[in-house]
């Protein structure tokens, strides 16, 4: 057995003590000391299933929050993102991305329209500084303020079909009136003007709330949510289940499905690329790539033989030629099978096509299957 | 979980139980606990030669791949096939859910391994 633990100066969220009190296994995640799983919740698979079947609670305070406000805030957001932010009503959120001029990813983001000329971009933890600098640089020349609010908030995700019922006990806002990918402000645990968003990263229904980032308040809200969810069997969830949940739902992760060397077309995010909204950074490169033909694309794999394809593993065709790589792969706890997302040439990407993934000394046959691997059941 | 006194242990967190010329190998409670939910075990075939300290397979949790190292040299005599369909047994009962049984090549190699007390001290220092 081999195991390695890296020790370095890491950052902590306001809930760090709470995680440690709960006996969470902690890991260094992009410079953050974060819970990977909670033995008290039953471990990663139990956490994953709790979110699919009922409700789970995540500390996602390591995510970054950038506010753009001022007369030209919309113009700035439109210039730096690929989706059409002009379509957002106040109180609506949108999946989008910041692109380099090459059409590749700075990061993916959730854009929230807070007010008339007021937007909030929620960004990844691992790319916080890079993203903030990029956003500030992209906003230059526009009459708009760029503020890094990342350290102001503790962000807690209440995810799963019973997420809304759990949160409803702690707020006077009628959560049934908040549609998926919309948000509102209201009192939560006695904290007025709390941002309550029906968003998440689990492929389930759920909410993300933003409360002041002091330890006492954060701990109080976390514990109140754990109590409120008790009747639904709520468990605390770590980054381990967060990753397997997003993988089953084919939600991209920076450094895996999206990166500074993968374009938005290749990542299959066509639905979120609005070529007709006017110019934006990366648009010209995307237009050129579309005209010349996209060479590779992201597909879902399921091994036909024994083995777990994992990120970085090489993909071969059945003639033995290397054709691509695995972006993410794992055992899918809800699906109870091994799954992976991989980049392969477009002409070999059809459903049913067989490829081989190199797992240590073996070439393990996999077939291309439809994605997302998991879709949440539609409410009757 | 108690570490059986009749087992020997390695610093790579395998256990070895000796009965005559046969050694039974598994991973420790500490190892399964560090790994988390185990979902895949890759083991050698019967007849394969193991060299002390060399990798003989892998155990994978949802999150991580971990190499298995042979505590002593020998020839694989039996493989726990049940783990193919129920790898989680290694989590629930690590000191009973053995991986492989080997025929020892050199019984004196066992002298270099840790006792239960040594191993417990070793993992306490590792924390």
A379 — pLDDT class (breaks 50, 70, 90)? low
What proportion of chain A, given as a percentage, has pLDDT over 70? 97
CA of B43, closest CA in chain A: separation in Å? 12
A380 — pLDDT class (breaks 50, 70, 90)? very low
CA distance A209 to A65: 13
CA of A102, closest CA in chain B: separation in Å? 33
Choose the closest CB to B36 out of A240, A306, A338.
Answer: A240
Instruction: Give the residue on A whose Cα is nearest the Cα of B27.
Output: A1
Contact A240 B63 (CB under 8 A): yes
CA distance B70 to A77: 57
| pLDDT at residue A3 greater than cutoff 80 | no
pLDDT digits (tens, 9 = 90+) for A241-258: 999 999 999 999 999 999
Q: Which two tokens stand for residue B53?
A: 């300290």
Query: Which class for A118: exposed (0-12), middle (13-18), buried (19 or more C-beta within 10 A)?
Result: middle
Contact A1 B59 (CB under 8 A): yes
CA distance A138 to A134: 6
| pLDDT at residue A191 greater than cutoff 50 | yes
Q: Which residues of B touch A1 (CB under 8 A)?
A: 10, 12-14, 27-28, 31, 59, 66-69
What proportion of chain A, given as a percentage, has pLDDT over 90? 96
H or E stretch including A37?
Answer: strand A32-37
Q: Average pLDDT for residues B49-60, to the nearest whole number?
A: 97
pLDDT digits (tens, 9 = 90+) for B30-43: 999 999 999 999 99
B127 — pLDDT class (breaks 50, 70, 90)? confident
Q: Average pLDDT for residues A7-13, to the nearest whole number?
A: 79
Q: What is the pLDDT of residue A8?
A: 53
DSSP 8-state assignment for residue B37: S
Instruction: Give the residue on A whose Cα is nearest the Cα of B58.
Output: A1
pLDDT digits (tens, 9 = 90+) for A37-87: 999 999 999 999 999 999 999 999 999 999 999 999 999 999 999 999 999
Computed over every residue of chain A, the mean pLDDT equals: 96
Q: Average pLDDT for residues A313-324, to the nearest whole number?
A: 98
DSSP string, A162-209: THHHHHHTTBSS-GGGS-TTBEEEEEETTEEEEEEE---SSSS-EEEE
Q: Average pLDDT for residues A21-35, to the nearest whole number?
A: 96
Q: Which residues of A touch B42 (CB under 8 A)?
A: 306-307, 360
DSSP 8-state assignment for residue A346: G
Q: Average pLDDT for residues A3-10, to the nearest whole number?
A: 54
Instruction: Give the residue on B whose Cα is nearest the Cα of A36.
Output: B63
CA distance A161 to A185: 21
């Amino acid at each position: 057995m081999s195991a390695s633990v890296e020790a370095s100066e890491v950052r902590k969220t306001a809930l760090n003590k709470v995680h440690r009190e709960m006996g969470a296994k902690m890991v260094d995640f992009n410079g953050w000391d974060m819970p990977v799983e909670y033995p008290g919740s039953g471990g990663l698979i139990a956490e994953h299933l709790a979110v699919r079947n009922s409700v789970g609670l995540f500390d996602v305070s390591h995510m970054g929050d950038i506010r753009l406000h001022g007369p030209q805030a919309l113009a700035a957001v439109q210039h730096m993102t690929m989706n059409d932010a002009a379509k957002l009503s106040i109180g609506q959120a949108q999946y989008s991305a910041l692109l380099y001029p090459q059409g590749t990813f700075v990061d993916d983001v959730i854009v929230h329209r807070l007010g008339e000329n007021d937007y909030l971009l929620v960004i990844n933890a691992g790319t916080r500084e890079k993203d903030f600098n990029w956003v500030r640089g992209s906003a230059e020349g526009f009459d708009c303020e760029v503020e890094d609010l990342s350290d102001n908030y503790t962000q807690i995700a209440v995810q799963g079909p019973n997420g809304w019922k759990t949160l409803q006990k702690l707020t006077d806002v009628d959560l049934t009136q908040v549609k998926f990918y919309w948000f509102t402000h209201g009192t939560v645990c006695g904290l007025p003007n709390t941002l309550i968003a029906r968003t998440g990263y689990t492929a389930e229904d759920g909410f993300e709330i933003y409360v002041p980032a002091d330890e006492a308040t954060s701990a109080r809200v976390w514990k109140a949510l754990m109590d409120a969810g008790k009747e639904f069997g709520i468990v605390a969830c770590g980054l381990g289940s967060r990753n397997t949940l997003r993988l089953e739902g084919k939600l991209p992760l920076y450094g895996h499905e999206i990166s500074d060397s993968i374009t938005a077309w290749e990542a299959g995010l066509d639905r979120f690329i609005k070529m007709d909204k006017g110019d934006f950074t990366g648009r010209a490169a995307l237009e050129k790539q579309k005209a010349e033909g996209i060479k590779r694309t992201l597909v879902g794999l399921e091994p036909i033989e024994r083995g777990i394809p994992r990120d970085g593993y090489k993909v071969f065709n059945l003639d033995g030629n290397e054709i691509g790589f695995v972006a993410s792969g794992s055992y899918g706890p809800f699906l109870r099978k091994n799954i992976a997302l991989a980049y392969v040439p477009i002409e070999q990407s059809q459903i049913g096509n067989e490829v081989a993934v190199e797992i240590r000394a073996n070439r393990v046959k996999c077939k291309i299957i439809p994605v997302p691997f998991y879709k949440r059941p539609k409410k009757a | 979980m108690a570490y059986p006194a009749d087992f020997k242990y390695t610093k790579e967190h395998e256990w070895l139980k000796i009965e005559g010329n046969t050694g039974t190998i598994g991973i420790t409670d500490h190892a399964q606990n560090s790994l988390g939910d185990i979902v895949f075990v890759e083991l050698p075939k019967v007849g394969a030669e193991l060299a002390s300290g060399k990798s003989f397979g892998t155990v994978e949790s949802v999150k991580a791949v971990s190499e298995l190292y042979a505590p002593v040299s020998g020839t694989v005599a039996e493989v726990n096939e049940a783990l193919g369909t129920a790898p989680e047994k290694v989590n629930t009962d690590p000191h009973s859910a053995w991986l492989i049984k080997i025929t020892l090549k050199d019984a004196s190699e066992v002298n270099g391994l840790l006792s239960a007390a040594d191993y417990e001290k070793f993992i306490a220092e590792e924390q």
